[in-house]
Amino acid sequence: MSGQAASTEYGLLAEFQTPEHLYQACEKVRDAGFSHWDAHSPFPIHGLDKAMGLKKSPVSLFVLVLGLSGATIGMLMQWWVATKAYPLVISGKPLFSWPAFIPIAFECGILGGAVGALLGFLSQARLPRPHHALFNASRLERVTDDAFFISIETADPNFDRESTAQLLKDLGATHVEAVAA
C-alpha cells in the first residue's frame, strides 16, 4: 500500500463515456497489474470479463452439485417412503416403481440447481450487502442508468493517489474523484 493514501479513503472512481471507452480502459488497467479494482456499468458488457482478466465464474459448480444432490435426494426420499416408511401396493406396481419416481426426482434436481444458481451468484457477488463504500460517491448512482465507471481501491498494492488518477485520466476518464471509505 502506498504510504500517502489515507486510510479514510476507499479509492478512486473514474467515469467513462461509452462502453467502448470502458472496455479499452479495462484492458489497460488489467495490463497495469491492478488487482483490487472493478468496472461498473448499467448492463453486462459482452467480453468485459475477459478485458478485466476475470476468472471463469464458479456458479456452474454450485448448480451441478446442488442439482445432482437435489435429484438424488428426490429419488432416495421416494424410495424410502415407498419401500420402507409406508410400503403399499398400488395398482399392482412394484414398491420401488422407478418410472413413476422419475418426475419428482427430476423436479427436485431442477430445484436444487436453481437454488444453486442463486446461492452461487449471491456468494460470489458478495450480496446482499446493504452498504458499500462506493455508495458514498453520489455520482455512482447513475451507474444503474447510463454511466460507466472504473473504481480502483487504495488497498491495491499498485495504488498511488497521483499516478493512478493520472492513468485513469490518460485512459479517457471524463471525471476522476476520490471516494471516502
> By CB under 8 A, how many residues form the interface with other proteins?
77
Q: State which of positions 37-96 bind other proteins (CB under 8 A).
A: 38-52, 54, 57, 59-60, 63, 67, 77-78, 81-82, 85-86, 88, 90-93
The b-or-e profile of 152-173 (16+ CB within 10 A means b, else e) is bbbebebbbbeebbebbeebbb
Is residue 180 near other proteins by the rule CB under 8 A?
no
Say which residues have a Cβ less than 8 Å from residue 18's Cβ, sequence separation at least 6: 148
Q: Output the CA torsion 7→10→12→16 (10° steps).
A: 180
Q: Determine the interface stretch with other proteins among 3-11, 105-113, 155-163, 171-179 (rule: CB under 8 A).
A: 105-113
Q: Determine the interface stretch with other proteins among 3-11, 103-111, 152-160, 168-176 (rule: CB under 8 A).
A: 103-111
Instruction: Return the H-helix or E-strand segment holding 180.
Output: strand 175-180
Choice from 106, 158, 165, 177 touching other proteins (CB under 8 A): 106
